[in-house]
Structures are given as structure tokens and as C-alpha cells.
Amino acid sequence: MFYLIGLGLGDLKDITVKGLEIVKQCSRVYLEMYTSILGCSLEDMQEFYGRPLLLADRDLVEQGADEILAGAGESDVALLVVGDPFGATTHTDFILRAKEKNIPYKVIHNASIMNAVGCCGLQLYKFGETVSIPYWDETWKPDSFYDKIKLNRLHNMHTLCLLDIKVKEPTPESLMRKRKEYMPPRFMTVAEAAHQLLSIVEKKDSLEKNTVLNEQSLCVGLARVGQESQQIAVGTLLEMRSTDLGGPLHSLIIPAKEMHPLEVEFLQQYAASIKLDDYNH
């Protein structure tokens, strides 16, 4: 049997009872932590689970699925992922490959950022399409995510922005030499995301700034959701550019232009410098 097990968002104790029982019985257990990270070390997890874990890096997950699935038809093999197993399309591919190989499988769900963002007080059913904000570089500055934010705003819906993670990214030089060397891990902050959004907004005309997004638009920054050190900050897009929420992982929310009174009341506790009633229009 192949098991795809969600670990939740906080720490090693967020695994479900069912998930933990399966981990203890498997012949091999892989841990994937390149699409997200958990607030504890590999050593702590191995001690808590009472067994060794095999690290599944980006290359293994994206190119070595057959290696992970090997033998899962005869014995139990598990892949542990931070959040919920279906939070990343990469994990969906494992299920398709297992079915192709006639390997039985089970999915053990858990909390993910997609539902845990409700901790800020915004109602989940009012969220529109989720977007990803990638890191820019000198030659690549994609901005298609802005159009999705715009569409959500025009339909009076919140937008969850998932911020880029760079883990085990090969350097351009190593790709040319065909010998892999990796850049240090990078995790986009809400300040970096706000900076890129402001760069896009500055190029828009006055009508779009007034109807869609501008530097005074309300934003919600979240960091380390589900962990003891969780932080939430509410401010304008301009203020978010200089907001420091500490270590990863960060997420950014662009709320709808009109919010429910309960949403406004809940968000106000995180808004130190502004009165949210002025933004609810």
C-alpha cells in the first residue's frame, strides 16, 4: 500500500492519530519538505515517530516517483507532506502513477494553508482563486497573478497569495556546466510580495488604481500559520512593504473591497495603525 500523509502546518504533533499509526508500520517512509516546511527538525521528527525518515528532495519527488513507489505493491510505503497531500499538484501525480502501476493507495488528510487562513477572521467561502507570487529576477518579472487578483477584487472576493519558496534551486552557472550546485534556500516574505505588487500597481492608470488595487489597499500578512510563533498583521499595501513578520513561511491576503462586519471586527485586532471601517467600502 502507498500512503500519502499530510502533516499539518505546525509541528510534528500535528500529524493525525491515523497518520502516525501508519508511519510506525511502514517499511519505508519518505519526507517531502521542498513544497513547504514544518516548524521542527528532521531529528525531532524521527525521534517522535520512532523511526528513520528518508528525505525526498525536489529531484526525487519530481523525477524519481518510481523509486518512491517501488515495492509499495508488496509492503507499506508512505510519503509525508507538509499541510494537506493535495495542496500541491506534484502529489496528485503520485496517485496517478500508483493507479497506473495498480498499487493500492490511501490519502490521510490534514490542515493546510488553504483553510487555515481563516485564522485571520476572513470567511473562507468568500475567497476567490488562489494565486502564487513568484520571485522576480533581472530578466524575468511575470505579473499574470495580478490579473487574478483583479478579477477577485471585481467580484468582491478575497485573494490568498501563496509566496514563492526556493529550495534546492540549481545555480545558472551549474546548469551550464552540467554539474549541479544549489543556491541557498529562499522564502518570500510579505514585504517582498508587497514590493512586487506595488511595482505592478505603479504602472496602472488612475482608473484601475481607484477600482482594483493601489498602495492604500488593505492587506493581511500571515507568518508561520499553525505554529506557536504565528503572526498576523493588517495594513495597507504600502505598509506591508516594510512589515517584518520574522521567519518563514509567509502568506499574503488581499481582502475583498466589501467585508462582513464580523470580518472587520476580527481583523481590527491586528490593525495597529488604521481603522478598518474606513476601508470597508
User: How big is the chain, counted in residues?
Assistant: 281
Q: Is 149 annotated as belonging to a binding site? A: no
The runs of H, that is alpha helices, within 101-186 are 113-116, 144-154, 172-177
Q: Is 109 annotated as belonging to a binding site? A: no
> Identity (one letter) of the amino acid at 4?
L
Q: Is 9 annotated as belonging to a binding site? A: yes
Burial of 20 (0-12, 13-18, 19+ CB in 10 A): middle
Pairwise CA distance, residues 84 & 8, whole Å = 6
Q: Is 87 annotated as belonging to a binding site? A: yes
Query: 10 to each of 6, 137, 180, 210, 251, how far by Cα in Å?
Result: 12, 31, 32, 38, 15
Q: Quick one: cell of 116? A: 487555515
Q: Is 137 annotated as belonging to a binding site? A: no
Query: 100 to each of 56, 95, 206, 269, how far by Cα in Å?
Result: 21, 9, 53, 51
Q: Is 121 annotated as belonging to a binding site? A: no
Cα of first residue to Cα of last residue in the chain, in angstroms, is: 53
* Beta carbons of 87 and 112 less than 8 angstroms apart: yes
List, as residue ranges, the binding site for S-adenosyl-L-methionine: 9, 84, 87, 112-113, 163, 225, 250
List, as residue ranges, the binding site: 9, 84, 87, 112-113, 163, 225, 250
